[in-house]
Amino acid sequence: MLRRIAHFMIRRAEKQLNVLLDYTHAIAEADFGLLSRYNRIFGFVNPNRHLPPEAYHAARLTGALAADCGTCVEAEINLALQAGLPKTLIKAILTKGELTPELSAVVALSQAVTAERADDTEARAQIVKAYGEKGLIELSYAMNGAALLPGIKRAMGYATACNIGLMRNLD
């Protein structure tokens, strides 16, 4: 019974994200307790209480792109669109195009942390000035959480190929 409910909830999430969550179905099949642990990750990653949507999604998009360019990035694009971000802004975030100084700092720190495993003290200082310590902490959760999920998928053998069409759809 729990598995059926779990699969129902996963299918609902697939519709919201407009991506296939085959690896999540596999977790549900293997063990409900493991699925419960996986779902707790979202409680850590998802809440956005201290940032404008643009900053929050810039961190998530950059984190996901650092770890994956397939369905995880596609899901983040869909979430950003649902939050009201224009396609032009999403494309600028993903391509490091023209952004406000605050969003440039978010992308720079997210890129440094998730892709380069480095630090960017200047970007962090700009973020703290723009969004405060609470905003910095929430951005830290967002960027690293979005980079974590593709790793889980990849480790389970569900990685997808890079989808160049994602960027073309943002024009």
Quick check: 120 pLDDT over 80?
yes
| Mean pLDDT within 41-53 | 84
- Dist CA 79 CA 85 (whole Å): 9
CA distances from 106 to 7, 29, 101 (A): 35, 37, 9
Quick check: 164 pLDDT over 80?
no
Per the prediction, the chain carries an average pLDDT of 91
The three state secondary structure string of the chain is CHHHHHHHHHHHHHHHHCCCCHHHHHHHHHCHHHHHHHHHHHHHHCCCCCCCHHHHHHHHHHHHHHHCCCHHHHHHHHHHHHCCCCHHHHHHHHHCCCCCHHHHHHHHHHHHHHCCCCCCHHHHHHHHHHHHHHHHHHHHHHHHHHHHHHHHHHHCCCCCCCCCHHHHCCC
Q: Which of 13-17, 40-44, 78-82 is predicted with the least confidence, judged by mean pLDDT?
A: 40-44
Q: Which of 15-24, 56-65, 108-117 is predicted with the least confidence, judged by mean pLDDT?
A: 15-24
| Mean pLDDT within 29-49 | 86
Q: Which CATH superfamily is domain 53-168 in?
A: AhpD-like (1.20.1290.10)
* Residue 114 pLDDT: 95
| Mean pLDDT within 150-166 | 79
Question: What confidence category does residue 42 fall into, taking pLDDT thresholds of 50, 70 and 90?
Answer: confident
Domain ranges (residues) in the chain: 2-45, 53-168
- Dist CA 155 CA 64 (whole Å): 15
Question: What confidence category does residue 108 fall into, taking pLDDT thresholds of 50, 70 and 90?
Answer: very high
- Dist CA 113 CA 73 (whole Å): 17
Only one residue has tokens 């195009």, namely 97
Question: What confidence category does residue 131 fall into, taking pLDDT thresholds of 50, 70 and 90?
Answer: very high
- Dist CA 62 CA 57 (whole Å): 8
